[in-house]
Amino acid sequence: MSTDTTAINREMRLFERDAQVWLFGYGSLIYKADFAYLERRRAQVEGWTRRFWQGSHDHRGTPEAPGRVATLIELPGAVCVGMAYRITPAVFAHLDHREKNGYLRRRVTLRFDDGDSTEGLVYIADPDNAAYLGPAPESAIARHVATAAGPSGPNRDYLLRLAEALRALEADDPHVFAIERDLLALDAIASP
| Catalytically annotated residues | 99
Residue 147's closest CA among 91, 79, 64? 64
What distance lies between CA 34 and its chain's CA centroid? 14
E strands within 57-171? 67-87, 104-112, 117-124, 149-150, 153-154
Residue 122's closest CA among 1, 15, 2, 4? 15
**Does residue 57 contact residue 66 with C-beta atoms inside 8 Å?**
yes
Q: How many residues does the chain have?
A: 192
Q: Give the whole-angstrom CA distance, residue 188 versus residue 174.
A: 21
Half-sphere CA count of 59, side-chain side, radius 13 A:
22
